[in-house]
Amino acid sequence: MIKVLLLFLLLIAGIVLGPMLAGHQGYVLIQTDNYNVETSVTGLIIMLVLCLVVLFAIEWILRRIFRTGARTHGWFLGRKRNRARKQTSQALLKLAEGDYQQVEKLMAQNADHAEQPVVNYLLAAEAAQQRGDEIRANQHLERAAELADNNQIPVEITRVRLQLARNENHAARRGVDKLLEVTPRHPEVLRLAEQAYIRTGAWSALLDILPSMEKAQVGDEQHRDNLRQQAWIGIMEQLMAEQGSEGLNLWWKNQSRKTRQQTSLQVAMADHLMECNDNQSAQQVILEGLKHQYDDRLVMLMPKLKSDNPQQLEKALRQQLKADDKNPLLWSTLGQLLMKHGEWQEATLAFRAALKLRPDAYDYAWLADALDRQHQPEEAATMRRDGLLLTLKNDKNA
């Protein structure tokens, strides 16, 4: 800049001094309505140079003034940023202490000057919610939404979290539905969706997000299996309440073979069908389940059935006993079924076999009832006494 100015001054000096040395200064007339200005070319150039000098001087003064103002503004701005940084650090310590009132206060003060103002406002909103101040929480949340511009995902996640904390479950469900459209594998969104769907009974939606939860590694395999079972049972309860056993049977037939072969679902299905007084369908589910894979839970449902064809159940139990005659539950269940249609002698044999494998107070009681029916009161009394002693022993150990 200085070099350009020097060159410019040399050029002006040449223009001024040249005519003077040559003795030809020229003539300039500037005429207006009221004034006439007469001067030489040299004089006009000198005036122009002086005007430029004055303009440069004014520019220099203004630059110094504005530079000082910018420095002052930067000093104040840096001071606010440092204060915001310190307050954010203090707020994080208070968060660890559980002092949510101080967390909100420190996070909200000078939040606009913090390194991540959106984060400050979101944490302030959650702290206010922890204190139960929903109005302040909403104010902080809206300010965060204004500053977030196009990145609204953290804001909406916080909004859903606050809605769940307030038990606004259906609003939270709408929020997670929208979030899943934008980011279907976000771990926190999936966790919030799990809570919202369980609370609102959206069991089909819960089943739909399980593959995404697996890919995002949200929860372990056992947790996801439990959610799957909970969703299936929830669907069964809804169908039972709305359509009864017909809806349950139709839904069960439409499931894949892999689904129908899950023992826990077979148990739940049979239990719901019995609750609808559809014992025939429940018995079919139990028998098909045992045919595919033995499970104690299916056997334990048999005595609850009001079966029109108990011979099928007895046949299934005897087939299982051929494979495993050391299973006391099979013997006990067979004895209970035999008692239902008065086969007291065979029931007695079954209960004795069960008690031989393991002592059980219920089997002692059932055996005593069967002996009473066969007019053996003394042995029946002995069985009841043994059952009572066993019960007292178990209570003492407990």
pLDDT the model gives residue 18:
59
33, HSE (Cβ side, Cα atoms, 13 Å): 0
pTM of the full predicted structure?
0.68
- Read off the pLDDT band of 11 (50, 70, 90): low
Residue whose pair of structure tokens reads 């909406």 in the numeric block: 156
The tokens for 136 are 């302040």
Residue 162 confidence (pLDDT) above 90: yes
What does the angle CA 115 – CA 117 – CA 123 come to, to the nearest 5 degrees?
Answer: 115
From 56-65, 188-197, 272-281, the region with the lowest mean pLDDT: 56-65
In the chain, % of residues over pLDDT 90: 54
Residue 297 confidence (pLDDT) above 60: yes
Say if CB 328 and CB 354 are below 8 A apart.
yes
pLDDT in tens, 110-127: 666 667 778 878 888 888
pLDDT the model gives residue 355:
94
Say if CB 68 and CB 90 are below 8 A apart.
no
- Read off the pLDDT band of 172 (50, 70, 90): very high
Domain 319-398 CATH class label: mainly alpha
Residue 81 confidence (pLDDT) above 70: no
Nearest in space to 155 (alpha carbons), one of 190, 119, 183: 119
**b (16+ CB within 10 A) / e for 273-307:** bbebebbebbbebbbebbeeeeeeebbebbeebeb
pLDDT the model gives residue 48:
73
Residue 73 confidence (pLDDT) above 60: no
What is the average pLDDT across 188-211?
A: 94
Domain boundaries, the chain: 2-78, 319-398
Please report the DSSP string for 68-136 in residue order.
Answer: HHHHHHHHHHHHHHHHHHHHHHHHHHHHHHT-HHHHHHHHHTTGGGSSSHHHHHHHHHHHHHHTT-HHH
Q: Mean pLDDT, the chain, as a whole number? A: 84
